[in-house]
């Protein structure tokens, strides 16, 4: 199936079919990359988020590593996530891009006016698609853990 070649924008209906269908959910991302790391099976990641990460992947033509995607309540607590973390809703991903610093990745999101949540940590960037523009950094007392 080569749906991604013709569909830069994926509508929700197509997305639902893809999510029910297989592991590959965009040109370069697999659904399993976003699954909760505890093994509970929670992997209902946002298509808006994956589309944005695909845009990042395409822009720099470098692999994007998802270090954390969906998190169940237990796993989120175990990794020190915030109580209202967007990871709990499948709306967030922590990422690293091969050959790029966290700052360079963060700046890419900022330059395109990222409308959701954005955080920069020692070696990774947190991006989420909540309906609110929020920014956070390492050492921020208000948000010591992942946004």
Q: Is 40 in the site for Zn ion (CB under 5 A)?
A: yes
Q: Is 31 in the site for Zn ion (CB under 5 A)?
A: no
What residues between 100 and 129 interact with Zn ion by CB under 5 A? 126
- Pair type for strands 134-137 and 117-120: parallel
Site string for Zn ion, 48-87 (x = CB under 5 A): ------------------------x--x------------
- CB nearer to Zn ion: pick between 14 and 32: 32
- CB nearer to Zn ion: pick between 4 and 145: 145
Among the candidate windows 11-19, 51-59, 89-97, 98-106, which touches Zn ion by CB under 5 A?
89-97
Among the candidate windows 20-28, 52-60, 104-112, 139-147, which touches Zn ion by CB under 5 A?
139-147
Among the candidate windows 23-31, 33-41, 49-57, 110-118, which touches Zn ion by CB under 5 A?
33-41
Q: Is 95 in the site for Zn ion (CB under 5 A)?
A: no
Interface residue with Zn ion among 18, 36, 49, 88 (CB under 5 A) is 36
SS3 track for the chain: CCHHHHCCCCCHHHHHHHHHHCCECCCCCEHHHHCCCCCCCCCCCCHHHHHHHHHHHHHHCCCEEEEECCCCHHHHHHCCCCCCCHHHHCCEEEEEECCCCHHHHHHHHHHCCCCCEEEECCCCEEEECCCCCEEEECCCCCCCCCC
DSSP symbol at 54: H
């Amino acid at each position: 199936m080569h749906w991604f070649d013709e569909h830069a924008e994926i509508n929700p209906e197509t997305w639902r079919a893809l999510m029910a269908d297989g592991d590959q959910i965009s040109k370069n991302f697999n659904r399993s990359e976003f699954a909760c790391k505890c093994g509970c099976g929670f992997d209902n990641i946002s298509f808006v988020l994956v589309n944005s990460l695909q845009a990042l992947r395409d822009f720099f033509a470098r692999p994007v590593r998802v270090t954390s995607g969906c998190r169940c309540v237990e796993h989120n607590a175990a990794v020190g996530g915030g109580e209202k973390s967007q990871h709990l809703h499948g709306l967030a991903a922590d990422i690293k891009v091969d050959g790029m610093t966290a700052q360079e990745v963060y700046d890419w999101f900022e330059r395109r006016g990222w409308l959701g949540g954005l955080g920069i940590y020692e070696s990774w960037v947190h991006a989420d698609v909540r309906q609110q523009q929020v920014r956070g950094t390492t050492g921020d007392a208000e948000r010591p853990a992942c946004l």
